[in-house]
Structure 1
Amino acid sequence: MGDVTWARGVEWLAAAAGDPRGCKRAWDHGEGVALLAAGRFWDVLSVPDRLGLLALDLMWQPSLPIPGPTLVDTAAHRVGFFLPPERDSHWIGAGLRHAGRGAWVAVPPPYRPARFLEWLVPPDGTGALYRPATLEMALRHAHATLAVLTPPGDD
């Protein structure tokens, strides 16, 4: 990712902060993580990392649009997919967590990891997000694959 794309990604993410300048200062001089409000520009669907990494791999194909911003939390073993804001979340499933209006999401800057958070697909500043139907299909396929690969009792 080039410097121009990073700069656009920084501006796009920081726009979700109550104080965009303070957000950018926190990224550069603080802990390197900012808490941003979900539900205005984007929501985040957080899933267990095995499921999320497999789903991301399934979506990374020439015939599909480039995946949207994707964040991994290595401490919590979760992957977060950035989606368009939804008024009423319809995401249901074991281990799925939807962060929408009223929720806060910890994010590092697009240009480097911070603590246990890292961008698998950093935001490019265009506002591109996952299409819910595409993400749902990939998660269903990934779940079915993991169900076949995981021996009973080895969750």
Structure 2
Amino acid sequence: MTGAKTAVEWLASVAPDPEACRWEWERNPQGIALLPAGKAWDVLILRGELGYPTLDVLTRVIDQPGPVLVDFGDSRMGFFVPPGTATRWLGTGVRTAGRGTWIVVPYPGRVTGGVRWLIPPDGSGTLTDPALLELAMHEAAANLATDDDR
């Protein structure tokens, strides 16, 4: 089974009808699906200005972070984290998608005109540790503040 196929099955597994979701998703010319957050993952959504530096810090600390989405225009980035993170998140300036919310998810390996994967899911369920993500966000924000002072 290829990585993209495994990733598709992992993502579609949260849909109310995974087989119907996968069938429609594979045939959707836009290559997107609306999937519920809060089952296999939550998503922490950062502004692109903070998201990219955060991802840079994160990838220097760990080899394989969880999936990361970016929207059209790179204005927001979504980091996939363990379910339940959204309800416990206290940080400001970060939007959350958890139980009861749905997110637009592109088909892994397919280029779409809007939302796309910066780090696609590997199909194994790898997610970003929210504590590491928070530390990376703090370092990125500190670096941005230092750059602004120059």
1: distance between equivalents of 2:129 and 2:110? 25
Structure-2 residue corresponding to 1:59: 58
CA contact (8 A) 1:89 1:98 kept: no
Structure-1 residue corresponding to 2:126: 128
Greater than 3 Å deviation, 4+ residue runs: none
CA contact (8 A) 2:37 2:100 kept: yes
1: distance between equivalents of 2:66 and 2:118? 10
2: distance between equivalents of 1:133 and 1:126? 20
CA deviation map 1:102-131 (0-9, x unaligned):
010100011113231110100011101000
CA deviation map 1:78-124 (0-9, x unaligned):
00000001163223212x10100001010001111323111010001
Structure-2 residue corresponding to 1:146: 144
Q: Which amino acid letter does the alignment assign opposite residue 55 of structure 2? A: L
Structure-2 residue corresponding to 1:90: 89
3-state DSSP class of the match of 2:69? strand
Q: How many residues align?
A: 148
Q: TM-score, normalised by structure 2?
A: 0.90
Structure-2 residue corresponding to 1:45: 44
CA contact (8 A) 2:37 2:103 kept: yes
Q: Which runs of 5+ in 2 are unaligned?
A: none
2: distance between equivalents of 1:22 and 1:93? 37
In structure 2, relative to structure 1, the CA distance for the partners of 1:102 and 1:76 (3 Å cut) is farther
Cα RMSD after superposing both structures:
1.9
CA deviation map 1:16-61 (0-9, x unaligned):
1112223223332223111100001100000001211111111112
Q: Which runs of 5+ in 1 are unaligned?
A: none
Higher helix share: 2
CA contact (8 A) 1:39 1:85 kept: yes
1: distance between equivalents of 2:37 and 2:122? 18
- 1:76 to partner: Cα distance: 6.5
Identity of aligned residues (%): 43
- 1:11 to partner: Cα distance: 0.4
Structure-2 residue corresponding to 1:23: 21
